[in-house]
Structure 1
Amino acid sequence: MADRDIDAVGLLCPLPVLKARKALLEMPVGAVLRLVASDPAAVIDVPHFCAEAGHEFLSLDDTGDVQTYLIKRG
């Protein structure tokens, strides 16, 4: 269950990651963000961002047109 949702469908790199970054900064440590994106590059960018920023990449659900990412604030 996510504590916050971000809809980044239709946005291209780097906007999905930037929106996730901004949202995570406003969330307490341990909170979970659900990011929904359609940018094909996000499959690479989101896990990389998590590793670099110290957040935990929980999961990726790829339904074809959109991907849903769960990220735990580190």
Structure 2
Amino acid sequence: MADRTLDASGLRCPMPLLKTKLELNSMTPGEELVVVATDTGSLRDIPAWLALSAHTLVSQSESNGEYRFVIKCGG
């Protein structure tokens, strides 16, 4: 179970990514964040940014136009 959930539904690019960054900045390493977004740009932006960060993409899924990312906060 995640430590926090960020609902970015209805927000357009780049807001889901920006809000994800802000949320992760306020978290402790090892905590998990679930991000829910509806903007298709999130599918590209969030994993690409995570690959360059200290954070880890645990999983991602899509269902009925809703994108869900589970992220482990890095140090």
Q: TM-score, normalised by structure 1?
A: 0.95
Which amino acid in the other structure matches residue 40 of structure 2? Answer: P
Alignment of 1:1-74 (within 5 A): 1-74=1-74
Rounded Cα–Cα distance in structure 2 between residues aligned with 1:54 and 1:48 = 12
Unaligned 5+ segments in structure 1 are none
Q: CA deviation at 1:8?
A: 0.3
Percent identity between the aligned chains?
A: 38
Q: CA deviation at 1:65?
A: 1.6
Unaligned 5+ segments in structure 2 are none
Q: TM-score, normalised by structure 2?
A: 0.94
**SS, match of residue 34 in structure 1:** strand
**RMSD (Å) for aligned C-alpha atoms:** 0.7
Q: CA deviation at 1:73?
A: 0.5
Rounded Cα–Cα distance in structure 2 between residues aligned with 1:41 and 1:64 = 15
Give the total of aligned pairs: 74
Structure 1 outlier segments of 4+, above 4 Å: none
